[in-house]
Amino acid sequence: MLSQLSIRAKIIVSVSVLIMATVGIGVLSIRQMQAINASTVDIQSNWLQRVRLVGDLRAYTLMYRGLIRAHILANDVAGKAAMDKNNELIVAAIDKSAKAYAAAIRSDEERALYGEFQQAWASSRRRTGRRPSMPI
């Protein structure tokens, strides 16, 4: 069959096949880039915001833990009073971050994990409580 075609026709057919393959690959890559862009927009608009909020919440809870340790180790009433003041600031920051994260939750699984955190946080607050500073 190919022996009946001229060299010109053979070259035109082979170049046409290459052009069609290139166009097909181009169309496929454009569709894949659209899928990547959609995923990137989802990550930027949903996930990164929540990751930042959870990071803030984690940082504040770690600061709270350090504050409790510092409060226990304080030697005088003034030191304990300073820790109590810092405690109020950190607890307010934790509450603010928790409310912002709760508003950003989208899935039921995240909501369940956040509920576990809230229970653990409430339990921790009951254990440490707002005790008055004791003189040494």
**Residue span of the structural domain in which 29 resides:** 2-128
- Mean pLDDT over residues 103-112, rounded? 88
Is 136 inside a domain boundary? no
Residue 133 lies in a domain: no
| Per-residue confidence (pLDDT) for residue 135, from 0 to 100 | 34
pTM above 0.85, yes or no: no
Dihedral angle sign, alpha carbons of residues 117, 50, 58, 91: negative
Please compute the mean of the pLDDT values over residues 107-136 and round it to a whole number: 73
The total number of structural domains in the chain stands at 1
- Radius of gyration of the CA atoms of the chain, in A: 31
Average pLDDT over residues 86-102: 90
Closest CA to 102 of 121, 85, 123, 82: 121
User: Does residue 122 carry a pLDDT above 80?
Assistant: yes
44 within domain boundaries: yes
Q: How confident is the model at residue 131 (pLDDT cuts 50, 70, 90)?
A: very low
Which CA distances in Å does 72 have to 57, 60, 85, 102, 126? 23, 18, 14, 31, 16
DSSP codes joined into one string, 36-98:
HHHHHHHIIIIIHHHHHHHHHHHHHHHHHHHHHHHHHH--SHHHHHHHHHHHHHHHHHHHHHH
- Say which amino acid occupies 93: A
CB-facing half-sphere around the CA of 40: CA atoms within 13 A: 6
**Is the pLDDT at 59 greater than 90, yes or no?**
yes
Q: Establish if 104 belongs to a structural domain.
A: yes
pLDDT digits (tens, 9 = 90+) for 6-43: 889 999 999 999 999 999 999 999 999 999 999 999 88
Res. 134: pLDDT tops 50? no
The reply to whether 134 falls in a domain is no
Please check whether residue 69 lies inside any domain of the structure: yes
